Structure 1
Amino acid sequence: MGVELGIIEGFYGRPWSWDEREATVAFLAPHGYRFYLYAPKADPYLRRRWQEDHPRDIADGLARLAGRCAELGVRFGVGLSPYELFRGFDQAAREALARKLGFLDSVGVRDLAILFDDMHGDVPGLAERQVEIAHWAAARTMADRVLVCPTYYTDDPVLDRVFDPRPDGYVEQLGALLDPRIEIFWTGEEVCSRELSPGHLRRVTEQLRRKPFLWDNYPVNDGQRMSQYVHVRGFTGRPASLAGHLAAHGVNPALQSTLTCIPALTLVESYARGDEYEYLAATLRAARQVMGDELGRRLYEDVLVLQDVGLDRLGEKEQLLRDRWTGVDHPAAREIIAWLDGAYRITEEIVQTQ
């Protein structure tokens, strides 16, 4: 395959259950998915309330998931978003960060990701402050891989509109100052990139002074608009030639854990088949692997409606979908019905508060 693949659970909205996480890891591991990064926006103890201890039930769940990943030969990691810590990295903040790092060590974290996304960048010396925090954490964690998500992790100007204009030379400064052993996340030309090219990745590699660690925002569907759709179509715009230009390829999955496995399998096929890859044929094969021949074919027939029409524009197609999937004893079928019922809807309030 030529590139390390993994899942980054990094979406807004209703998080996966522990059973769903373990089932996803167990299904994808034999197909080449080698890491799992736990970073759901719904875990406040990794984000706005990061200085507080995780409740015991979540801590136990993390330890069990880490153990299951280890059994399957999958690296387990956690994404920590120390909310705007770079505005005041004082002694109290350092003590809080040390406690959190100790907790993550205790549950068996191998990959530690320090995430500075979703934070305002109107701070003098932003890159230098973030590098200081990353180096401080890297010196104190037992994780054997450390990763950083920049505040500006894409060329997409939407980040400048939402989180203040990026400082001049921010990406280059981050790349120059950060220890070369620390990986840097990048999503591509857009937050949700339609395609990625070797030329773009070569340019970003020069800026970061290392190959980018791809945070791929497909098939994620966690925005107010995107939650109207279920992304089950096979990967496109990710040619196999990307492999030599990436440190690794992490997939931010859909809210529907079982259905996520369909596009996830097609990414494996895309890297394996190269120029012979056909995304629709791969979608059908993956659907059959995930759901069995009959249900996989049925799902394939519904790809256009699930992915392109939109929940609020289904019209009479909604009842057709309900007739096809109600009562079907398969988790993917239950996910489709839950989506029709509005269980996965994302509001702007959810995005603003998680």
Structure 2
Amino acid sequence: MTPELGIIEGFYGRPWTWAEREEAAVCLSFHGYRFYHFAPKADLFLRRRWQEPHPAEDAVRLASLSYVCRAHGMRFGVGLSPYEVYRDFNADVREALTRKLAFLDEIGIDDLAILFDDMGGDIPDLAQRQVEIAHWIGERTVASRLLVCPSYYTDDPILDRIFGARPASYLEDLGRLLDPTIEILWTGEEVCAREFSTAHLERVTAQLGRKPFLWDNYPVNDGPRMSQFLHLRAFTGRPASIAAHISAHGVNPASQPFLSRIPALTLPMSYEQGDDYAYGAALKDAATKVLGPDFAETLIGDLLVLNDSGLDRLSESAVMKLRARYSAFDHPAAREIIDWLDGGYRITQEIMDTQ
């Protein structure tokens, strides 16, 4: 059994272009992906400046992306991060939120994710406040599916260190009070989970009172550390057995749109093949489909360098050799590799702090 699969464009740093988004949606729709959630950290009008209207050009392109997704059998959704509105959900905030919801309705959305991540959370009644906002939004959106990302969306203690200690019984309270039709996003035992086990997902289901909607942070490669690597390997640690324990599986892609398709194509294989899934063979199959046989063979031969070594560990001569090697391929993915080698996808802490 394969769960509903989709893309959650939710990474920091340099965003995809509108054309790259539409092309990714079309490509992945042919490989079993059924939703596309637009939530890039670089879109400030969905995050720090959410109360301001989107520029007219962006509104047109969002509507176009929605149309393309729907035309190819994918639900289109948007992730909205109304920064810390739970601290004071006053009349002015509600008016601004009403305007933003009307805008999203107009461009055409099937899914709306209210994202409470990346915000301070050390408030005793945090769950109750967030539930009130989610229910208020649910009464005013045309989206047929509403999702909530908790402030504490993983067991990972790094969130407690950055955003304050999570309130006692936060997840249990959120699950108990939130309308059971509203999905809850979850990234696993870590922000970037190495694997998902049925035991873990069963425990989270009990806490949330519903199956979690996975926000899978692979192959995403944002952040000062991860942007040093190209995450190209096939999916592992996502056994087909978890399908019965999740409501859907969303993939947060890498900064490189074409290269992201390689691991993305292996996730449906993992579910479909079950115990017969072999990640090496899946990688070769996916890479060949995305790149063609010659390019795929070259890329797989360089996995230890591109995927595992890290950009800062490459000597100048190694970078020059790789640039020359991939310049021989007239392909968007080759240009992404060269751009990465040149530092074009490097992410700094300043970028993360301001997006």
Query: What is the CA distance between 1:319 and its match in structure 2?
Result: 2.1
Per the alignment, residue 55 of structure 1 pairs with 55
Instruction: After TM superposition, list the pairs within 5 Å mapping 1:193-204 onto structure 2.
Output: 193-204=193-204
- Further displaced range: 271-280 or 143-152: 271-280
1:127-146 correspondence to structure 2 within 5 Å: 127-146=127-146
User: Any idea what SS the aligned residue of 1:161 has?
Assistant: helix
1:223 and 2:223 correspond: yes
Alignment of 1:6-25 (within 5 A): 6-25=6-25
Specify the alignment match of 2:354 in structure 1.
Answer: 353
Secondary structure, counterpart of 2:249 in structure 1: strand
The aligned residue for residue 330 of structure 2 is 329
1:168-221 CA-to-partner distances (Å, cap 9, x unmatched) read 000000000000000000000000001110000000000000000000000000
- Between 315-324 and 279-288, report the one with greater CA deviation: 315-324
Name the structure 2 match of 1:91: 91
Q: Does 1:170 align with 2:170?
A: yes
Compute the displacement of 1:327 (Å).
Answer: 4.5
Q: Which amino acid aligns with 1:126?
A: L
Aligned residue-pair number: 354
Instruction: Give the TM-score normalised by the residue count of structure 1.
Output: 0.99
**Cα displacement string for residues 249-292 of structure 1 (whole angstroms, at most 9, x for unaligned residues):** 00000000000000000111101111111111111110000011
Q: Secondary structure at the match of 1:319?
A: helix
Distance in 2, matches of 1:4 and 1:286, equals 20
Hey, what's the Cα distance between the residues in 2 that align with 1:181 and 1:110? 14
Q: Which residue of 1 aligns with 2:305?
A: 305
C-alpha distance in 2 between matches for 1:213 and 1:31: 20
Aligned to 1:342: 343
Contact map agreement 2:223 2:348 (CA 8 A) in 1: yes
Q: The residue matched to 1:12 in structure 2 has which SS?
A: coil
What is the identity, as a one-letter code, of the residue corresponding to 1:350? I
- RMSD over aligned Cα atoms: 0.7
The one-letter amino acid paired with 1:319 is: M
- Give the 3-state SS of the residue equivalent to 2:62 in structure 1: helix
TM-score normalised to structure 2 length = 0.99
Residue-by-residue CA offset, 1:41-65 (whole Å, 9 max, x unaligned): 0000000100000000110110000
| Alignment partner of 1:233 is 2:226 | no
CA distance in structure 2 between the partners assigned to 1:308 and 1:15 by the alignment: 23
CA distance in 1, matches of 2:165, 2:65: 38
**1:46 lines up with 2:46 in the alignment:** yes
SS of aligned partner of 2:30 = helix
1:173 partner amino acid: D
Return the alpha-carbon distance in structure 2 between the equivalents of residues 348 and 2 of structure 1.
Answer: 37
The answer to whether the 8 A contact 2:2-2:268 is kept is: no
2:105 is matched with 105
Q: CA offsets, 1:273-318, max 9 Å, x none?
A: 1111111111111000001111111111111211100001011332
Determine the structure 2 residue equivalent to 1:270: 270
Find the residue that maps to 2:60 and give its secondary structure: helix
1:80 aligned partner: 80
Question: d(CA) in 1 for partners of 2:178 and 2:2?
Answer: 26
Q: Which AA in structure 1 matches 2:171?
A: V
> What amino acid maps onto 2:89 in structure 1?
F
Instruction: Indicate the SS of the match to 2:12.
Output: coil
**SS in structure 1 of the partner of residue 322 of structure 2:** helix
Task: Provide the rounded CA distance (Å) in 2 between the counterparts of 1:329 and 1:143.
Answer: 41
1:37, 1:137 → 2: CA distance?
Answer: 18
SS of the aligned residue for 2:250 comes to strand
Query: CA offsets, 1:21-73, max 9 Å, x none?
Result: 01101111011000000000000000010000000011011000000011101
One-letter amino acid matched to 2:231: H
Percent of aligned positions with the same letter in both sequences? 65
What does residue range 120-131 of structure 1 map to in structure 2 within 5 Å? 120-131=120-131
| Whole-angstrom CA distance in 2 between matches of 1:87 and 1:19 | 38
Partner of 1:244: 244
What is the rounded CA distance, in whole Å, between the counterparts of 2:2 and 2:234 in structure 1?
19
Q: Is there any run of 5+ residues in structure 2 with no aligned partner, and where?
A: none
CA distance in 1, matches of 2:309, 2:42: 27
Task: Please give the alpha-carbon distance, in whole angstroms, between the structure 1 residues aligned to 2:18 and 2:2.
Answer: 30
